[in-house]
Structures are given as structure tokens and as C-alpha cells.
């Protein structure tokens, strides 16, 4: 499966084991965005595990409190951040403290996809 969704705040590509999300420049991601993620997971991963991959190409802000709710999605098995930007990695390390499931930071999308597929196989 591969399907692309374009929302007002992000572009999302949905695969069998994971979804890749590219937030739009300047977006401010708050806990309310979890409702959108819940709708998407119910539609595309109703009874299957998946991993969320945030491909941080653009600059945007994330309220780390969002991860407290995101972690409650039962079939969400992990969260990956992909970025070569130093500040984005520092921000991800802070966000990591709010997420109580596997959360990794990668330099390449390929490494994040490999990790996601291995996490789903476990």
C-alpha cells in the first residue's frame, strides 16, 4: 500500500508498516492535531501496527505535550524523526522524553524505514 495525503499542515505518505509525514514550513503542531492522526490510523491501520516517521525537511514547531496523547494510540509501535539539522535533532531529543514508546532519531529516511520495519516485525 502507498497512498499520499496532502493536508493543510503536512504531506503524508502511507505505507504498510509506517507513515512518513513532512510538516509544512512554519506549522505549529499542537495536541489538537492528534484527532487528525487518530482518523488516519483508524482508516489505514485499523488493526495493524505502524510506525510514525517525521521527516523534518522544513522548520516548524511541536508542542511536546502532543506526545502524551500520541503514545496512547495502541497500534502505534514507535516514532522516528529524520533530520540532518542540528536544532531539529536537539528538539527531537526533548520531545523524546514525552513519548513512552520507542523513539529514535535518524539522519536518513532509509535508516528510519529500516528501523520501522524491524520494529513492526518484533
Q: Which domains does the chain have, with CATH numbers?
A: 2-108 (3.30.750)
- Strands 61-62, 50-55: pairing is unpaired
- Determine the pLDDT at residue 101: 93
Q: Give the span between the Cα atoms of 16 and 106, in whole angstroms.
A: 20
DSSP 62-90: E-TTHHHHHTT-TTEEEEEEE---HHHHH
* Average pLDDT, consecutive stretches of 10 residues, N- to C-terminus, the chain (122 residues): 90 96 91 87 93 92 86 93 87 87 95 96 75
- Determine the pLDDT at residue 91: 85
- Determine the pLDDT at residue 88: 82
- Determine the pLDDT at residue 1: 67
Amino acid at each position: 500500500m502507498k497512498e499520499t495525503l496532502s493536508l493543510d499542515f503536512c504531506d503524508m505518505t502511507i505505507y504498510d508498516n509506517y507513515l512518513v509525514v513532512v510538516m509544512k514550513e512554519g506549522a505549529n503542531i499542537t495536541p489538537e492535531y492528534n484527532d487528525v492522526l487518530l482518523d488516519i490510523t483508524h482508516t489505514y491501520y485499523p488493526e495493524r501496527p505502524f510506525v510514525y516517521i517525521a521527516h523534518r525537511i522544513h522548520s516548524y514547531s511541536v508542542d511536546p505535550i502532543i506526545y502524551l496523547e500520541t503514545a496512547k494510540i495502541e497500534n502505534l509501535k514507535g516514532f522516528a524523526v529524520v533530520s540532518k539539522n542540528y536544532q531539529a535533532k536537539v528538539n527531537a531529543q526533548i520531545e523524546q522524553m514525552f513519548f513512552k514508546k520507542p523513539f529514535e532519531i535518524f539522519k536518513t529516511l532509509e535508516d528510519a524505514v529500516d528501523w520501522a520495519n524491524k520494529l513492526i516485525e518484533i
